[in-house]
Amino acid sequence: MGIIQLEPSTDINWTPCYDGHLCARLLLPLDYLSEDPDGPTTAIALRMIPAASRGTADYRGTVLINPGGPGGSGTNLVERAGANISRIVGGSFDVLGFDPRGTGASTPRVECFASAAERNIWMTQVGHQFLNASDHTLGLYRAREQVVAAKCEQAIGGELGIARFMSTASVATDMIKITEKLGQEKLHYWGFSYGSILGQYFSAMYPEKVGRVIIDGVYDGDNYRGALWSSNLADMEAVMDSLFTYCHEAGPLRCTLYESTPDTIRARYFGVLDEVARNPIAIPLAEPPVILTRKALITQLFSSSYKPLANYGTIVDTIRAIETGNQTALTALAPKIVDPTECKCSSGTIPWLAENDAFNAIACGDGEEHPYDPEYYANYYDELVKDSPHGGPIWAVHYLQCAEWRVRPKWRYTGPLAAANTSHPLLLISPRYDPVCPLRDALAVRERYSGAGLLVQNSHGHCSLSAPSLCTAKHVRAYMEHGVLPKEGAVCEADELPLIGSVSDVSAMSLEDQELLEAIRGLSEVVPMFGF
């Protein structure tokens, strides 16, 4: 039985679903500030993989997971990666994914467009030019955000509209209620990307309820709550440039763009992009047909920086196909370069997994109000582009989204995103080079939560999931099962590198370690696409 078909209840009534999982829909108050016990509710979708030790003395409780976004579906994360997450945290924990209010299979949902087809048509109008604060594209991008804001205000922004009740404070409180319904005193949690923000809110609002809380791929909560989106790109260029370093280290047999130095490979890559800028490439046999532009290729690199292990090979194949004029290869690669838009009344996508406007409702609603100011935005844009010349023009839209957003939440948490004492220390995990949640943000957040531990993974990509590391998996297991934090200054190496492949002797590992590494390797495809 699917989640959406279940009858919601004020208790968690587990029903067997899918393949050995349990599903439920939990009714919670829509408005936590209302004193009406019979007030409107939201039905939160839950999907759980039961612990192998459930019902025994070894059972340790339930771990809630959040996949980021904001707006990502926790129930879908359980479907795609729950078994591997369960293997990493250990068989003494249930793994529970929930869809934050307004998102996924939770109802009511954020739906500003009448259909997926209407949204797809709208997205075709964005054009082939990047946002630039000093030319006509700024007006276009602002106007687009004004349209979305107006549509959402009309569709979901009324007195009881779901957009008014999606704040992270409400979701953190939902986690308390879910935990209580499970009969658990404290929260166990692993949150990725935006999930790190949710973990910061929860730990600040309910420090006495912190059990095991991991925040992975850490964004500075103060920057987030300011609706600034200005600290994210500190390491973006380093991650993008890692493509050229890994290609050089991989050698000519594994990287067809190989040259004598990483800088030469970089020059070759951008030489192709410069030629495409002058002469965009038609791919007429792709379904649907597409035009390959410089913007499309930079956007491909930007999104690939989140998960280099999974995607750098596609970039190499793309550039080589352009160099050789291989239309057969380009036709096959087209859906991995340009998101395909299909003209169908039904796209085949499960409705509650379709694109939505949850990012605006959650992130902009949580943030301070800042109406658009042209002088401020020009300076803001320039600073972003200084951090990342290639990522800045993509990322700069987030400020516009929030500047034009009109719906304010009924409840925002405005206290400090910090805690002098939590009932158990937090564990922060950060890649050394994360494209949108830089290590410096993790260092800043760690200082606000007394006793918190920090594990640095010596890798490129978004969150620890982007690079398999047995060392990291072991630290997660030790923290979850025994509450043990990594030693001060702990660093984990990756066991597999983009284009290069495995750099560890798997045959020398114990069977248990091999299984753990295989589990963490299986997560590299589910890296959250934060704010993108």
Average pLDDT value over all residues in the chain: 95
Q: How confident is the model at residue 532 (pLDDT cuts 50, 70, 90)?
A: very low
Check: CB of residue 365 under 8 Å from CB of residue 167.
Answer: yes
Distant-in-sequence contacts of 410-414, Cβ < 8 A, 24+ apart:
410/31, 410/33, 410/164, 410/165, 411/31, 411/32, 411/33, 411/165, 411/167, 411/169, 411/170, 412/167, 412/169, 412/365, 412/366, 413/167, 413/168, 413/169, 413/172, 413/201, 413/204, 413/205
Tokens at 232, concatenated: 């994210």
Structure confidence at residue 43 (pLDDT): 98
**pLDDT above 80 (res 183):** yes
Q: How confident is the model at residue 528 (pLDDT cuts 50, 70, 90)?
A: confident
Structure confidence at residue 17 (pLDDT): 94
Three-state secondary structure string covering 127-175: CCCCCCCCCCHHHHHHHHHHHHHHHHHHHHCCCCCHHHHCCHHHHHHHH
Which residues touch 395 (CB under 8 Å, ≥6 apart)? 229, 232, 233, 384, 388, 436, 531
- Between CA 55 and CA 277 the distance in angstroms is 62
Structure confidence at residue 529 (pLDDT): 75
Of residues 123 and 222, the one with the higher pLDDT is 222
Q: How confident is the model at residue 395 (pLDDT cuts 50, 70, 90)?
A: very high
Average pLDDT over residues 19-44: 96
Q: Which of 407, 390, 523, 379 is nearest to 464 (CA)?
A: 523
Q: Are strands 501-502 and 496-497 parallel, antiparallel or unpaired?
A: antiparallel
Residues in the chain: 532
Check: CB of residue 347 under 8 Å from CB of residue 117.
Answer: yes
Tokens 């959250």 correspond to: 528
Check: CB of residue 301 under 8 Å from CB of residue 240.
Answer: yes
**pLDDT above 50 (res 327):** yes
Of residues 391 and 5, the one with the higher pLDDT is 391
The Cα diameter of the chain in Å comes to 70
- Between CA 320 and CA 323 the distance in angstroms is 5
Q: Which of 180, 215, 169 is nearest to 422 (CA)?
A: 215
The percentage of the chain sitting over the pLDDT mark of 90, rounded to a whole number, equals 89
Listing DSSP states for 25-64 in one string gives: EEEEES-TT---TTS-EEEEEEEEE--TTTTSTT--EEEE
Which residue type sits at 460? H
The percentage of the chain sitting over the pLDDT mark of 70, rounded to a whole number, equals 96
**pLDDT above 90 (res 359):** yes
Check: CB of residue 95 under 8 Å from CB of residue 65.
Answer: yes
**pLDDT above 60 (res 348):** no
In tens, the pLDDT along 487-525 reads 999 999 999 999 999 999 999 999 999 999 999 999 988
Of residues 356 and 477, the one with the higher pLDDT is 477
Check: CB of residue 364 under 8 Å from CB of residue 403.
Answer: no
Tokens 């965009």 correspond to: 280
Q: How confident is the model at residue 433 (pLDDT cuts 50, 70, 90)?
A: very high
Which residues touch 76 (CB under 8 Å, ≥6 apart)? 67, 97, 104, 353
Average pLDDT over residues 296-322: 97
Question: Exposed, middle or buried, 277 (CB in 10 Å: 0-12/13-18/19+)?
Answer: middle
Average pLDDT over residues 299-304: 96
- Between CA 376 and CA 379 the distance in angstroms is 5
pTM: 0.96
Other beta carbons less than 10 A from residue 111's beta carbon: 18
Distant-in-sequence contacts of 157-161, Cβ < 8 A, 24+ apart:
157/406, 157/407, 160/30, 160/40, 161/407
- Between CA 427 and CA 479 the distance in angstroms is 8
**pLDDT above 80 (res 8):** yes
Check: CB of residue 306 under 8 Å from CB of residue 461.
Answer: yes
Domains identified in the chain and CATH numbers: 3-109+168-229+418-526 (3.40.50.1820)
Listing DSSP states for 248-305 in one string gives: HHH-TTT-TT--SSHHHHHHHHHHHHHHHHHS-EEETTSSS-EEE-HHHHHHHHHHHT
In tens, the pLDDT along 77-93 reads 999 999 999 999 999 99
Structure confidence at residue 120 (pLDDT): 84
Tokens at 522, concatenated: 């299986």
**H or E stretch including 378?**
helix 374-387
Residue 431's Cβ-side half-sphere holds a number of Cα atoms within 13 Å equal to: 31
Check: CB of residue 270 under 8 Å from CB of residue 205.
Answer: no
Structure confidence at residue 366 (pLDDT): 98
In tens, the pLDDT along 229-245 reads 999 999 999 999 999 99
Distances (CA, A) of 114 to 120, 122, 231: 11, 11, 35
